[in-house]
Amino acid sequence: MQASIWIEQDTYHWVKVEAEVLHTISAGFGLLRIASGSSLHFEQIRVNHEIWLPSNMIVRFQARLALLKALRGEYDIRYSNYRKFQSDSKIIVGP
């Protein structure tokens, strides 16, 4: 695999990762083979200047399952509208 990672200068937190499969990867005694050219793109954003959360992820793959079934796919996942969780609590004293 080949990967590139982007790091934010102020906090040294990773912001983006791009990875690509250069040679076929076999797993589970050859039952799953991920073909070269498959890729992953992942990004994070800082929300409310407090926490890093995912913003999007793109996965493209070609694979073969048990040398019988060819699998191809592309997933584009986007995260948005993050909101800070708030709750009100009240202590109630019994009788």
| Assigned domain for 18 exists | yes
Residue 74 lies in a domain: yes
Question: By residue range, what is the domain housing residue 25?
Answer: 2-78
Q: How far is CA 84 from the centre of its chain?
A: 21
Residue 92 lies in a domain: no
Does some domain include residue 8? yes
Cβ contacts of 17 within 8 Å, gap of 6 or more: 3, 4, 5, 6, 40, 41, 42
Q: Residue 95 above 80 pLDDT?
A: no
Q: Is residue 6 part of a domain?
A: yes
What mean pLDDT value characterizes the chain? 91
Confidence tier at 71 by pLDDT (50, 70, 90): very high
pLDDT score for 28: 84
Q: In degrees rounded to 5, what are phi and psi of residue 25? A: -110, 125
CB 73 within 8 A of CB 95: no
Report the candidate in 33, 26, 38, 35 with the shortest Cα–Cα distance to residue 65. Answer: 33
pLDDT score recorded for residue 88: 84
The domain total for the chain is 1
- The answer to whether 76 and 54 have CB atoms below 8 angstroms apart is no
